[in-house]
Amino acid sequence: MNRIYYTKPSITQLEVQYATDAATNGWGEKCYDYINKFEALFAQHLGTKYAIATSSCTGAIHLGLVALGIKPDDEIIIADTNWIATVAPITYLFAKPVFVDILPDTWCIDPDSIRKAITPKTKAIYVTHLYGNLCEMDEILDIAQKHGLSVIEDAAEGIGSVYKGKKAGSIGDFGTFSFHGTKTITTGEGGMFVTNRKDLYDTIQILNSHGRNPTNPKQFWCEMIGYKYKMSNMQAAIGCAQMERIEELILRKREIFSQYQEGFQGIQGISMNPEKKGTKNGYWMPTIVCDKSLCFDREKLLKKFKENNIDGRSFFYPLSMMPMFEEKRENAISYDIYGRAVNLPSYHDITQENIITVVDVVKKALKGSL
């Protein structure tokens, strides 16, 4: 039986062609050609004024926080349900992540929890569009405006997701994206910083070049201590090919989700990624959450997946559960939901037969509960 991967990229001859061209010809004065093109294509797709390609989403976040002026002991409010890469750059700057709870339906940050967590030290609200699901951006932006706070969007998983006509990542002060091999579009490794704020864009152009100002004609002159989170030209070449296929890649994610949704139709006690009125979900990672009434054992299901040559994926643990942070069990939904949820395989070439197999294994694992 062929393995059903939880995710893998869609690479065609177009990506190979562009990467080969970059490896063959993309040197000297052409060493940034694909990077510049990738940034322009991504900004155009997203509808933002500026985009800067980076070596990772983590690097893009780090640069954005520095450009915002985040300092030691500043507080940033962030959902407890998250991947570590989202919160790590906050700690790089010795700022304090303030973990708050999530909503039970979207699994994204709870606006009421944000309100309760704001203190005089709060500098930003950091939202993550988890698994393609969208945060309540209107309400969050309203809170931020009332308290003079910045809004940061982690849209690493949000390619294809749209909130009231605006693409995920384009709504806050800045947004960040991941192009890891697991994502809807990929460059192997890599990320993107996007913004409509020229001040942030100009600052990051300097920060991401070891502190060199691109407008200064003096060679090797640095204005500040900076960083080096640049994407390579060969990575960007693959990204350019992916951008030419982006609508196809997003549509395929939505088709896969629809097939899972159909497979679980009529089964009480299983909920999946929501698509609220006025939004469009990119469905990066189809996810099931089982009701407490069901006899669901996540580890048992993942074991069944393995026995059937299926790659399953755990829902994110609460970050505050991890040893480097202080436990916050008052984030009740975050601490409850992870044990009742699993991400399902989703990649461009997955077949309907594969999806039926995954659904059948889940149904058998839940037998006696349904």
Tell me, yes or no, whether 28 and 162 share the same domain.
Answer: yes
Q: How far apart are CA 150 and CA 152, in angstroms?
A: 7
Tell me, yes or no, whether 273 and 155 share the same domain.
Answer: no
Identify the CATH number of the domain in which residue 121 sits: 3.40.640.10
- The DSSP bridge partners found for residue 188 are 180
Tell me, yes or no, whether 210 and 286 share the same domain.
Answer: no
Tell me, yes or no, whether 176 and 312 share the same domain.
Answer: no
pLDDT band with cut points at 50, 70 and 90 for residue 40: very high
**Domain stop point among 189, 222, 244:** 244
Beta strands in the chain, from DSSP E residues, in sequence order: 50-54, 75-79, 96-100, 122-128, 150-154, 162-163, 166-167, 174-178, 191-195, 270-272, 279-280, 287-290, 313-314, 341-343
- Residue 159, domain member (yes or no): yes
Q: What is the pLDDT of residue 366?
A: 87
Q: How far apart are CA 50 and CA 113, in angstroms?
A: 31
Q: How far apart are CA 150 and CA 282, in angstroms?
A: 25
The residues, ordered by sequence, that sit 6+ positions from 260 with a Cβ below 8 Å of its Cβ are 272, 286, 344, 355, 358, 359
- Residue 4, domain member (yes or no): no
- Residue 151, domain member (yes or no): yes
Give 210-235 pLDDT, tens digit per residue: 999 999 999 999 999 999 999 999 99
- The gap from C-alpha 280 to its chain's centroid, in whole angstroms, comes to 15
Examine the pLDDT at 196 and tell me if it is beyond 70.
Answer: yes
Range of the domain at 215: 13-244
The residues, ordered by sequence, that sit 6+ positions from 121 with a Cβ below 8 Å of its Cβ are 73, 74, 75, 96
> Of the candidates 111, 106, 110, which has an alpha carbon nearest to the alpha carbon of residue 131?
106
Q: How many domains does one find in the chain?
A: 2
* pTM for this model (two decimals): 0.95
Identify the CATH number of the domain in which residue 324 sits: 3.90.1150.10
Q: What is the pLDDT of residue 1?
A: 63
Tell me, yes or no, whether 78 and 160 share the same domain.
Answer: yes
The residues, ordered by sequence, that sit 6+ positions from 300 with a Cβ below 8 Å of its Cβ are 365
Examine the pLDDT at 369 and tell me if it is beyond 60.
Answer: no
Tell me, yes or no, whether 87 and 236 share the same domain.
Answer: yes
Tell me, yes or no, whether 177 and 190 share the same domain.
Answer: yes
Phi, psi (deg, nearest 5) at residue 41: -65, -40
- Residue 338, domain member (yes or no): yes
Tell me, yes or no, whether 125 and 221 share the same domain.
Answer: yes
DSSP assigned state of 172: S
Q: What is the pLDDT of residue 370?
A: 45
Percentage of residues in the chain having pLDDT higher than 70: 99
